[in-house]
Amino acid sequence: MSESLNDIKQRLISVKQTRQITNAMFLLSTSTLKKMLAGMDYSFRYQAALRQTMREILSITQDAGIHNRYLEVSPKGTALYLSVMGDKGLCGNYNYSVAALTAEVKRKNTDSKLYCFGLEGEEYLKARGLTPDRVLPGSSMHPDLKLARDLSRTLIDMYITDEVNEVYIIYTPYRTAGRAPVCFRMLPLMKSDFLDAAERDTPEELLYEPSAEAVFEHVVPLYCSSLLYNILVQASASENASRMDAMQNASSNADKMIDELQSRMNAVRQLNITNEITEIAAASGLREKGI
């Protein structure tokens, strides 16, 4: 019984130490999530302004039949998928869900290119027999506007030169209730993509210099870089929210195990005391009988 009691004590100590780690990770994820949400608000407002401008340009030029390279699908090239995952695990099924969706869409288009954010995501994809053409580590925990700008320029150049004819981003949007990955088309653009953009009150007709088409050509790269940055921020927020939930669940499970082990330890201790009392009483009885 003494050995069993020591085993329970050692396991109880181990569970308590694990609980301290999961609680610390929960607090860290909570702090990081708050920072992500603060930056997300600015990113949303900036992107909304760009979408308004693009909708206005498309609406005034639709009768003239605007033909722009960003609005047309080239018969040349192939699709490119950009899968956004994390560099670390311990975040529930966050990385698993994105990797599963990536594998699903990649099976439908085997000739497509594949870029991947996150070292953990690379491992998940390789486990499914997919080797990314390019891996971009380090951005999941700290989304970088410069990285988003440089990468969007690279993607646009690949699109303009017909190296790729479609660009999709697979990521997990941040939602307060339920987080499921989606496959979002970044290029080519379509007029229907901007129908939900808010309209501005413009009493007078807007004039674009040198032309509406030239302004649209200039705004598209800004839109793509802000869109990519917004997606990275949302993905990071979703990752931290998933890790926060996972660590909270782990801490709750540890609390249950601690209570259970504490009860078992008390029961074993009580049994040891009872056995000792029984042995003392038996020895006392034998002594009184002169044995």
Q: Give 47-69 as a DSSP string.
A: HHHHHHHHHHHHHHHTTTT---G
Q: Burial level of 84, CB count in 10 A (0-12/13-18/19+)?
A: buried
Residue 14 domain-assigned? no
Residue 226 domain-assigned? yes
Q: How many helices (H) and strands (E) does the chain have?
A: 5, 5
Whether the Cβ atoms of residue 135 and residue 122 lie closer than 8 Å to each other: yes
Whether the Cβ atoms of residue 221 and residue 189 lie closer than 8 Å to each other: no
Task: Provide the terminal-to-terminal Cα distance of the chain, rounded to the nearest Å.
Answer: 28
Whether the Cβ atoms of residue 258 and residue 19 lie closer than 8 Å to each other: yes
User: CA 180, 181, 182: angle at the middle one, nearest 5?
Assistant: 120
Q: Tokens 């695990």 — which residue?
A: 89
Separation between Cα atoms, residue 271 and residue 283, nearest integer Å:
18
Considering only the C-alpha atoms of the chain, give the largest distance between any 2 of them, rounded to a whole number of Å.
Answer: 119
Residue 282 domain-assigned? no
Mean pLDDT of the chain: 84
Other CB atoms within a 10 A radius of the CB of residue 217 amount to 14
Tokens standing for 98?
Answer: 């994105």
Q: How confident is the model over 141-193, as pLDDT tens digits? A: 778 888 899 999 999 999 999 899 999 999 999 876 677 999 999 999 887 88
Residue type, 104: E
Residue 97 domain-assigned? yes
Is the pLDDT at 281 greater than 80? The verdict is no
Whether the Cβ atoms of residue 188 and residue 70 lie closer than 8 Å to each other: yes
Domain extent, residue 156, equals 27-245
Residue 2 domain-assigned? no
Q: How confident is the model over 201-227, as pLDDT tens digits? A: 665 667 777 877 788 888 889 999 999
Where residue 99 sits, what CATH number does that domain have? 3.40.1380.10
Q: How confident is the model over 120-142, as pLDDT tens digits? A: 888 999 988 999 999 988 777 77
Q: What is the pLDDT of residue 65?
A: 52
Residue 217 domain-assigned? yes
pTM of the model: 0.83
Separation between Cα atoms, residue 188 and residue 224, nearest integer Å:
11
Tokens standing for 124?
Answer: 């998940």
Residue 173 domain-assigned? yes
Residue 228 domain-assigned? yes
Q: How many domains does the chain have?
A: 1
